[in-house]
Structures are given as C-alpha cells and as structure tokens.
C-alpha cells in the first residue's frame, strides 16, 4: 500500500509539539493541587483502591441518593487525596470490573499512579496507531501528531480512559477484521463495553460486516458483552450490580441538570447540547424528540455503510473498512447522549488511516480526498473549541460546535452515498 509522506519540517514540528505537551503534562504531575482534581485520581485511582480493598459498598451511591456529593465514594476520594478541594465531587459510574483494572495502579502513591496510567495511555495510543498503520515509524509519528488534536492531549493530561478502553479496542478490532479474523475482531470490540460510548463506531463496523454477509463479528460481540456482564455480576454480586444500574440512572438525571454543577461547555454531543440548552423543566418532554433525531442520524450513517458494503465498485476491502471506521468515528458526537470533549481523543487512528495512507482504487481516489478535507475541518473545529475553552469558556457555544460537527458527519455520509463508478 502506498503511503502519505509528511514533509520533514512538518514532522519535526509535530514531534516538537508532542514533546512540549509531555513536558507540560509532566510538570503539572508534580503539582499536588492540580493532580488532586484530575479525573484519573478522583475517579479511577479511588475506584482501584476500593476494589483492591474489597470495599464494594463504597463504589456506588446507596439507594435513595439524590447527588454524588457526600456519597461514600466521594468521601473515600477526599480521604485518599488530601489536596482535593472540599468543593470537588468524585463519582464513579463505570462497571465494577473497570475498578479492578485500576487496582494495581492504586497500590502506588497518587502521583506515581497518575504517571503510570498516563504511560499506559501513551502505549495504548502507539499500539492502536501501529495496528492501524502497520508501520512502527508511522505509528510513532502518528502518536506525536495526535497531540495536535487537543481532546487527545486533554485525555492524557487528566488521565481519562478513552485511549485504553476505546482507542485500542477499536484499532485492534479493525486490524483483526483486515486479517479476516472476524470472530476475534468482534470479541475484541466487546471490550468497548468498558467505555460504552465507544460502541457507536463498533456498530458501524458490525453493520458493514453484516452488509458483506459476515455474521461472526456480531455473534462474537454479543457473546463477549454477555460474558463481561456476567463477570461483573459474579465479581461484585447482585447488590453491587443493582447499585451500578441505579448509579447510571442517577448520572443521567444529574448530567441533564446544569443546577447540579454540570460543565455545560463540555457537552460535546448533539443530544446533550440540545437538552442542556433548554430549561430543566422541559427536559423530560424534549429528550424523546432529541434521541429520535440522533437515532435518525445514526440510521442515515448506517445506510451509507450498507451502501458502501454492497457497492460493486473497484474499492478494496481495506478501503471500505477504513471509510466505515471514519464514518463511525464522526458519528460518535452526533449519536451518544452523554459525551465529553476529551472522549473524541479516542478517534485518532480513524483519522490517521486517511491521512497516512494513500487510496488504492479509483473509487478510493474519489472518496478519500473528500474525507481528508472533512477530517481536517473536524480537527480545526474541535481544536478551535478547545482553545476557546482555555481562553474564555464563556465564549464557548456547544450548540455551534455540535452543529459544525453534524455538518462534518453528514458530509461524510453523502460522500459514501454517492455511487462510485461500477466495474
């Protein structure tokens, strides 16, 4: 496969920027006051400590709780992190199994735990890019270039889980599909249940495989997800499993109410931005309409994927899979009800599969340049929004952001719906 060659000066600039970001991140890792309000320490390090010590009754709020503030988990986080401001609230909404994943990290002091997780995130990024691009040097350059996408940098800085729980399983699943390991590819995508928002790109990949009359990936995903659910049930028991379900319901209520301290400017999915732009009293009425709109947009994308899967053009199997991956990535902020802007950092391999590889077929030569422009626009839009948050978050307009991202998504849908030349 022919590859795109980035000019040496651009390569040097990307590497310099990545190193600068890492230096800044490393410097802030030495500052206890900043570390104590990081997502990783407040949420995942604390959850790991709870799992390591078998304190399962602390993991989720007790029945009847109306707020995460003052809940047992919040109190445990404040006890572990003495520099954590009294006004900060820690909550954990992930499955019990995820807490066990962080148990080894929690054995370290908070600062070292943070660094260890950040290194894990960087390793996941490199391997995800390597599986996508198939070349160590390009994977290293792509990993450096990822820092130019500010949501990725933010993910590493605050220690969020999207790179390990999202980016790597997505890239690995695509890699296995390219190797015609369809069952294992679907099984790998089941790991995305650790970060359920990331199942949206997986749905696109599965619909593509169904369009190619391959049913093993879907069967594997269902099997893997069921096994993970059963493992969670066996791990923590019915009481904790039920508490997790209640926690998810509570989080949906809280994250739909700005009065609960929700960071509205970080509401970077279309459904969430629309709902939060309306008075809380109307949320119950408009949610079904907004979710129906998101479902319709999802169906439009899936129809484009089926069109791509069934096309009789000269487009190669690898290109079809790559374009499906990109469309699924662009769909993420359009479809998912709850999404923060840093979650978009998990999508970098999809973009680099377009930027670092040249098209193989005539149809690919028609489609890929358009997708490249769409992804560039997406990068500028999202990174520009991130800069606005840094400069003055009051200027950030989530509705404008999601409208522009919707334009990128629909442009990609239309690009894949255009019938390529038949052969």
Query: In the predicted model, is pLDDT for residue 86 greater than 70?
Result: yes
Terminal CA-CA length for the chain = 21
Query: In the predicted model, is pLDDT for residue 422 greater than 70?
Result: no
Helix (H) or strand (E) holding 373: helix 362-392
Q: Output 301 or 67, whichever has higher pLDDT.
A: 301
Largest CA distance in the chain: 67
Confidence at residue 172, expressed as pLDDT on a 0 to 100 scale: 96
Q: What percent of the chain has pLDDT over 90?
A: 59
Confidence at residue 5, expressed as pLDDT on a 0 to 100 scale: 66
Confidence at residue 319, expressed as pLDDT on a 0 to 100 scale: 92
Stretch 215-242: mean pLDDT: 91
Residues 6+ apart with CB under 8 A from 217: 177, 182, 183, 185, 186, 189, 205, 206, 209
pLDDT-based confidence at 423, cuts 50/70/90?
Answer: very low
Helix (H) or strand (E) holding 24: helix 8-28
Strand, helix or coil for residue 356: coil
What's the mean per-residue pLDDT of the chain? 89
Residues 6+ apart with CB under 8 A from 113: 40, 41, 45, 48, 105, 106
For 1-15, 84-98, 184-198, which range has the lowest pLDDT when averaged over its residues? 1-15
Tokens in use for 108?
A: 């370290």
Query: In the predicted model, is pLDDT for residue 1 greater than 50?
Result: no
pLDDT-based confidence at 262, cuts 50/70/90?
Answer: low
Query: In the predicted model, is pLDDT for residue 365 greater than 70?
Result: yes
């Amino acid at each position: 496969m022919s590859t795109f060659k980035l000019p040496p000066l651009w390569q040097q600039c990307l590497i310099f920027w990545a190193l600068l970001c890492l230096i800044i991140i490393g410097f802030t890792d030495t500052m206890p006051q900043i570390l104590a309000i990081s997502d990783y320490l407040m949420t995942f390090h604390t959850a790991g400590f709870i799992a390591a010590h078998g304190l399962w009754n602390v993991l989720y709020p007790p029945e009847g709780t109306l707020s995460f503030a003052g809940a047992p988990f919040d109190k445990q986080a404040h006890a572990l992190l003495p520099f954590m401001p009294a006004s900060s609230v820690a909550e954990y909404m992930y499955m019990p199994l995820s807490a066990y994943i962080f148990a080894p990290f929690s054995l370290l002091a908070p600062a070292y735990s943070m660094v260890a997780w950040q290194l894990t995130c960087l390793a996941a990024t490199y391997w995800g890019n390597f599986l996508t691009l198939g070349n160590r040097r390009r994977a290293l350059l792509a990993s450096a270039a990822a820092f130019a996408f500010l949501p990725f940098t933010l993910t590493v800085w605050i220690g969020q889980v999207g790179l390990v729980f999202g980016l790597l399983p997505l890239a690995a699943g695509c890699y296995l599909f390219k190797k015609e390991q369809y069952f294992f590819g679907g099984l790998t995508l089941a790991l995305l249940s650790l970060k359920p928002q990331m199942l949206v790109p997986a749905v696109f990949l599965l619909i593509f495989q169904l369009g190619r009359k391959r049913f093993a990936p879907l069967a594997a995903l269902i099997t893997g997800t069921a096994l993970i659910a059963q493992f969670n049930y066996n791990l923590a028991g019915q009481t904790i499993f039920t508490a997790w379900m209640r926690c998810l319901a509570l989080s949906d209520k809280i994250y739909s109410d700005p009065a609960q301290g929700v960071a509205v400017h970080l509401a970077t999915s279309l459904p969430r931005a629309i709902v939060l732009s309306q008075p809380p009293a109307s949320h119950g009425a408009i949610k079904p309409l907004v979710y129906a709109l998101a479902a319709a947009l999802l169906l439009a994308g899936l129809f484009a994927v089926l069109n791509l899967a069934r096309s009789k053009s000269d487009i190669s199997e690898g290109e079809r899979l790559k374009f499906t991956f990109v469309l699924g990535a662009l769909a993420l902020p359009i479809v998912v009800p709850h999404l923060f802007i840093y979650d978009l950092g998990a999508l970098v391999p999809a973009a680099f599969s377009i930027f670092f590889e040249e098209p193989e077929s005539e149809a690919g030569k028609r489609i890929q340049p358009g997708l490249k422009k769409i992804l560039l626009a997406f990068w500028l839009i999202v990174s520009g929004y991130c800069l606005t948050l840094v400069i003055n978050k009051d200027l950030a307009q989530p509705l404008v952001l999601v409208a522009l991202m919707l334009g990128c998504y629909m442009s990609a849908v239309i690009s894949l719906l255009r019938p390529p030349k038949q052969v």
